[in-house]
Amino acid sequence: MKSALIRLRLRMETAGGVTAPESAETPEQTLLLRTDTAGKPHLPGATVAGSLRAHTAAQNALKPTEQLPDLFGSQLKSKQRAASPVQVLGTIYRGDGGTDLRRRTAINRERGGADNLTLHTIETLPAGTEFDVVLRWDNPDQRYDAFIDALRVWRPQLGRGGSTGAGFCTVTGLGHQTYDLTTPDGLLAWLAIASTDDYPEPDRFAAQDSHPEALLQVDLDIVDGIHIGAGEATKTEPAGPDISRILCIGNDYIVPGSTLKGVLRSRTEYICRVVGAPACPDQACGECAPCTLFGCGGTERTAHRAKIAIHDAVITDPVLELRHHVALDRFTGGSADGLLYTDEVVTSGSFRLRIDPLVPRPELSRAELLLLEAVVTDLDDGLIGIGARSTAGLGTVRVTSTDWKRPENLADLAGLLTKESAA
């Protein structure tokens, strides 16, 4: 008998993580990361196995035959059940325990502003976090070398938030060793494995570009300021004003993928309604064009993943400014007492809107691609804003990419959308 141990080093290229089940101890409206018994962030083996199953299923050299079983067990609807030859023994967290908290809200489709009772907080691991994944394969067959090669190019998306660019990973190291348990040396080496430190050490290698070719990528200049809040307003001085700070991750000011996705989705719903195409009001039908493109929580029968991922955008060359505004007293017509607000605003800078496909390009219809182009056109025209206080002049951007051209066939969009909805 032979047993192979494989150890992968997995690096998160974007912030993300696997969230924990909700419990009575969980703070209200907060999604915390899953942790192990020591309180460290945990990557479940089931998450890894599911992603590896999908990855190996796409490799012709690893497909099962009459003599060779499926590497990760029988399929869900298979008549004959079979165990997985490749076992996921577990994962090892290699970070320092640091996490980030991000606040999110939903867009009210009628008012265009933040919706009531939708503010929530999500805990994420920062980009650059590493996990080791340990696999075991007893009596590996002739597909072993092909399996090792497939692991080197594995580019998983793990955890929630794939449609907002969260949890994209690359393999940066791999170590493996096969133990022949029928020989004294092999058996002795196997029995000498006393802890995770004795597993094969991953050999580092340069990871390939983990991003697929972008579906849509445009550079945007900030025209008159943008504000993406970081949470509750804070004081810099005891007697100073409360200041609503810009979201900053590390040293970078960012426009979150969730913000960009919300703007794009709400605008596509508006466009669909204008041209007479279906657009459900609760983002749960699973059949209209926005649900098909951006994903749907819905019910068990309608829920499905998004077709695209919209990534966080880092603002380059940011210029910051504090802006003050005050509420009006409706009786006196002057400023109201105690209602002076101060916002930190990025008044100048640029960022890149990048949309990646999560499905093969042929699965994206012409209407869906044209919808995205239409929303970018509306952004360039200043018809919609990004971030807070767009009704007060913030959030306007302009497209500056020289290779982007305004779509000339927007007149076809209405016919394409209504045709697809009738199909």
What CATH number corresponds to the domain at position 116? Answer: 3.30.70.1890
In terms of Cα–Cα distance, which of 100, 125, 98 is closest to 15?
125
The average pLDDT across 387-401 equals: 85
Residue 208: per-residue pLDDT: 64
- Look at residue 283 and tell me whether its pLDDT is greater than 80: no
Q: Is 353 left (phi over 0), alpha (psi -120 to 50) or beta?
A: beta
The angle at the Cα of 222, spanning 216 to 224, to the nearest 5 degrees, equals 145
Q: Which one has a higher pLDDT value, 360 or 338?
A: 360
The amino acid at residue 53 is R
Q: Is residue 211 part of a domain?
A: no
Do 20 and 89 lie in a common domain? yes
DSSP 235: E
Distances (CA, A) of 63 to 137, 146, 154: 16, 11, 16
Do 274 and 347 lie in a common domain? yes
Q: Is residue 209 part of a domain?
A: no
CB count within 10 Å of CB 327 equals 12
CB count within 10 Å of CB 220 equals 25
- Look at residue 297 and tell me whether its pLDDT is greater than 70: yes
Do 157 and 230 lie in a common domain? no
What DSSP line would sit under 39-89, residue for residue?
S-B---HHHHHHHHHHHHHT-GGG---SSS--TT---TT-SS----SEEEE
- Which range marks the domain in which residue 387 is found? 216-422
Domain boundary among 150, 174, 204: 204
The amino acid at residue 217 is Q
Query: Which residues have C-beta within 8 Å of that of residue 8, sequence separation ≥ 6?
Result: 132, 133, 134, 135, 151, 154, 171, 173, 174, 202
CB count within 10 Å of CB 291 equals 25
Which residue carries 């504000």 as its tokens?
A: 227
Residue 192: per-residue pLDDT: 92
CB count within 10 Å of CB 234 equals 11
Q: Which one has a higher pLDDT value, 303 or 44?
A: 44
Do 170 and 228 lie in a common domain? no
Minimum mean pLDDT range among 161-165, 215-219, 237-241, 398-402: 237-241
Domain boundary among 178, 204, 230: 204
Do 244 and 351 lie in a common domain? yes
Between CA 235 and CA 225 the distance in angstroms is: 22
pLDDT digits (tens, 9 = 90+) for 106-117: 777 777 677 777
Domain count, the chain: 2
Q: In which element (H, E) is residue 260 found?
A: helix 257-275
Q: Is residue 407 part of a domain?
A: yes
Do 127 and 183 lie in a common domain? yes
Give 405's pLDDT tier (boundaries 50, 70, 90): confident
Task: Report the mean per-residue pLDDT for the chain.
Answer: 85
Do 7 and 142 lie in a common domain? yes
Between CA 385 and CA 154 the distance in angstroms is: 37
- For residue 49, how many C-alpha atoms fall within 13 Å in the half-sphere facing its CB? 19
In terms of Cα–Cα distance, which of 155, 93, 96, 127 is closest to 12?
127
CA 272 to chain CA centroid, Å, is: 25
Between CA 407 and CA 413 the distance in angstroms is: 11
Q: What are phi and psi of 398, to 5 degrees?
A: -130, 140
Q: Is residue 210 part of a domain?
A: no
Q: Is residue 306 part of a domain?
A: yes
Minimum mean pLDDT range among 190-204, 270-284, 349-363: 270-284
In terms of Cα–Cα distance, which of 324, 354, 352 is closest to 339?
324
pLDDT digits (tens, 9 = 90+) for 304-350: 888 999 999 999 998 888 888 788 878 787 777 777 778 888 888 99
- Look at residue 230 and tell me whether its pLDDT is greater than 80: no
